[in-house]
Structure 1
């Protein structure tokens, strides 16, 4: 089933406007303006509204990601926001990085709900969940809040520290933190015969492991999914993958999942994730596939 996912009613987050390759967002009390390559239309709001942002990110010349923030006086460089939907309550520390990111992808709200609900539905008394390319840990915390034994893996040590801060802010504990190359770790887990009731992947288009290992999405994804298939508990599992890479159609995920994963799951969704602004434009922010037994 081809689906479109978007956020629910979340008091501490709003996509206010989008256009001219930028987006205007509110995180808690603070409004940020930052680049968004897929917002090719005109903004709805006048420039004066955008100029009221607490912080604006400007790219370095010749760079798609790196740049710097122009922060208005009185605006903190870090702050906490709350998240609460359908019984899942979390807190996240946000901060303005030199790569335009703030430590959270709000469009993943429906997937956090999926992880939380699916973890609670597992037959295992304590479901084992592996979160790969786990970033600052929102998906990790959704699984942990539902009672899972969670392994959180990311190749960047500082990002794992940030995720730990989010765990503590959310009054959770007990997550296993790993600074590892995802492919090498999954290969070892397959050899060890380990099984998981939940697998979450959020791979970048390009990245490096802690020892310089190269990750290129189009080169590595097929093999990674084959290994993940071997790690899933055949009778009791959920699976979720997100892709942010421009040009990676949901149909690519459909083909991969159909070929690699046996049809033991009773539900499967595949499609796009988006945010809607006040003008009701739908800003696409990646593709996903998720299924469960």
Structure 2
């Protein structure tokens, strides 16, 4: 069965409305308008309400970059928010980047809950968790806060530094930071005979490694998932594969996982979405995940 899942614990985040290729969101006390290519339908709220509510709006200068326009210059460029579920609490530093991102993908809270739940119920003391394409570290923070020995891998040094700021902000320590191409790191860990109780994969559609390595999701994800499953601890484990690509479906993710790991148990596949207060559902990626305890 294909599941549709949306976060249930957010207090510092709210999708207010989405449509006409935009979304109106609240992060803490700051309300923003950003582009959203998935929102091909009409807005539920009138444009006048969007204009009244928002503090900052992103306006693109090109297909990949743009500027933030503030209604009030006192609105901060950086601020903090918290995420708390039934197991742990973590904090993030948000920032207005020229790529329309803020340093967090709120829909990933569904996967964060899965991570903390599994880490907490493992019998293995200090289970090892590997977070690949780890960005600013939401999944890494959750795993570490739940009691894991966490390794965080991303190819961009600046976002790994950002993740370290989030670690300090959350009152955590001892996450292992690795700035490297994820596929190269995985192959090296296989040669070393390493095993992990939890593995999180959230690859981009396109990307580059620190030495110019090229990543294209449809070209490399099959190789990656076949390599990654070799790192799973056979006794107890979980794995999450999350993709954000207009061309990918949850059935593709299911085929990838079953092909790479025929002995999979407790497999769930589906789609992540954010529920707008105004009524629409915003789809934001497909996932496959499984565990063994």
TM-score (ref. length: structure 1): 0.97
Q: 1:15 & 1:70 partners in 2: Cα distance?
A: 20
The whole-number CA distance in structure 2 between the counterparts of 1:180 and 1:75 is 35
Alignment CA distance shift 1:286-1:134 (3 Å):
same
- 1:136-179, Cα deviation, whole Å (9 max, x unpaired): 00000110011111000000011011101111111111100010
Tell me the residue number matched to 1:204.
204
State the 1:42 CA deviation: 1.0
Q: Name the CA distance, whole Å, in 1 between partners of 2:182 and 2:9.
A: 33
Shift of 1:32: 0.4
Q: Deviations over 1:220-276 (max 9, x none)?
A: 1001001111100112100001100111111111111111113242x1110100001
User: 230-239 or 44-53, which moves further after superposition?
Assistant: 44-53
Q: Please name the residue that 1:131 is paired with.
A: 131
Contact 1:234 1:264 in 2 (8 A): no
Instruction: Give the count of matched residue pairs.
Output: 290
C-alpha separation in 2, matches of 1:49 and 1:31: 12
Q: Which runs of 5+ in 2 are unaligned?
A: none
CA RMSD between the two structures: 1.0
Conserved in 2, the CA contact under 8 Å of 1:235 and 1:264?
Answer: no
Moved over 3 A (4+): none
1:55 has 2:56 as partner = yes
Structure 2 distance, partners of 1:11, 1:229, is 35
What's the CA shift for 1:87? 2.5
Could you tell me whether the CA contact under 8 Å between 1:91 and 1:169 is conserved in 2?
A: yes
Residue in 2 that maps onto 1:3: 3
Q: Which residue of 1 aligns with 2:121?
A: 121
Deviation at 1:123, TM superposition (A): 2.3
Query: Could you say what secondary structure the match of 1:129 adopts?
Result: strand
